[in-house]
Amino acid sequence: MEIIFLRPEYLWLLISLPLLVVTHFFVLRYLKRRALKFANFEAIRRVVGPEGSSKNVHFLSKNFGLLIIRMLALFFIIVSLATPIIYYSAKTSSSVFVLAIDTSSSMLADDFMPSRLESAKSSALKFLEKIPSNTKVALVSFSGVSFIENDLTTDKLLLSSKIKNLGVSSVGGTDIGSAIITSTNLLLKENSSKTIILITDGQSNVGVEPLKAAEYAKDNGVVVHAIGIGTQKGGSFLLPEVVSTLDEETLKKISQLTLGEYFRAENPKSLEEAYQKIAEHSVHRIAKNIGFELLLVAIVLLFIEWSLMNTRYRTLP
């Protein structure tokens, strides 16, 4: 389990807690002086007894109980303002997916037949057949820039058509970071488990730093499963001497950072198996905003404080 704050600047208000303690004892000292100056001690002893206290009245009480309650209430209010999000892993049958498919020119490499891109498209189509019909899926393609081919939808026929029509992009480069950020933004408003299936054959060489993009996905409760497509030897494209190789270390770090898995696909069969494992994956990263609950706790504590001030901790003026 992990907790992050969407508005961490509000946590600076926690410095008010020691100020509350100082103020509390300063006020007590002032009240003590006033009591010593104006109190009729003989009358007070007759009212409260020889021990200086009775069931409902305390004589110059330091009110440590009230101080603790006030501090807790203030603490919970400040933390709720900082918008705390708890992330935890749990089994769920409700998921939304973004298929982020690399369409750079290296996807024409000849180590997959007929090409890496065609194999990726074929496996993506089979993935759509395996997931429940009401599952939302979006499609993003990327090369030097990322494109939203289709927003989240349950229309599998439409998605299948968009996948079949994917072709190699005319924009040079591979921007994995942009693909992750674009895919994450499509998932922001979803309450179900959010998953990106990132399939690429190359190294990110333009645009957003991939690990920074992975941090953004992580902070928004998105799991990234990365599939590296390509053989160990690599494949040539455009020219025989131009060989595409994988940056597996980065893809592994992206997956680990977001609690996803990394898959190496060296042939069409292993590519389909990677999609199959993702489709069957039952443990997902769940995000929950607990700010409202903490605010309710703070309100309850304030009511308890008010009740105690008028009963157990009521003091003589």
Task: Return the pLDDT at 35.
Answer: 54
Q: In whole angstroms, how large is the CA radius of gyration of the chain? A: 30
Place of tokens 């009230």: 66
Give, in degrees to the nearest 5, the angle at Cα 55 between 52 and 56: 95
C-alpha to C-alpha distance for 124 and 122, rounded to whole angstroms = 5
Separation between Cα atoms, residue 62 and residue 60, nearest integer Å: 6
Sequence-distant contacts of 130-138: CB under 8 A, at least 24 apart: 130/275, 130/276, 130/279, 131/95, 131/97, 131/279, 135/95, 135/96, 135/97, 136/96, 136/97, 136/190, 136/192, 137/96, 137/97, 137/98, 137/99, 138/96, 138/97, 138/98, 138/99, 138/183, 138/186, 138/187
Question: In the predicted model, what is the mean pLDDT of residues 8-28?
Answer: 86
Residue 133 pLDDT level (bands cut at 50, 70, 90): confident
pLDDT of residue 60: 46
- Mean pLDDT, residues 19-26: 82
DSSP class per residue in 234-281: -EEESEEEEEE---HHHHHHHHHHTT--EEEESSHHHHHHHHHHHHH-
pLDDT score recorded for residue 55: 45
pTM for the predicted model, two decimal places: 0.64
Question: What is the share, in percent, of the chain residues with pLDDT greater than 70?
Answer: 78
Q: Where are the alpha helices (DSSP H) in 3-155?
A: 16-38, 41-48, 64-81, 116-130
State pLDDT tens for residues 182-196: 999 999 988 788 999
- Give 202-256 pLDDT, tens digit per residue: 778 888 999 999 999 988 889 999 999 877 665 555 545 555 667 788 899 999 8
pLDDT, average across residues 272-280: 85
- CATH code of domain 93-281: 3.40.50.410
pLDDT at 57 over 60: no
> CA-to-CA distance for 194 and 260, rounded, in angstroms?
11
Residue 154's pLDDT band, with cuts at 50, 70 and 90, is very high
CB contact at 8 A, 119 and 268: yes
Q: Where are the domains of the chain?
A: 2-86+290-315, 93-281
- The yes-or-no verdict on residue 174 having pLDDT over 60 is yes
Q: Which of 55-69, 112-126, 141-155, 214-228 is predicted least confidently?
A: 55-69
Among residues of the chain, what percentage have pLDDT more than 90? 34
DSSP string, 128-186: HHHS-TT-EEEEEEESSSEEEEEEEES-HHHHHHHHHT----SS-S--HHHHHHHHHHH
Q: What is the pLDDT of residue 315?
A: 55
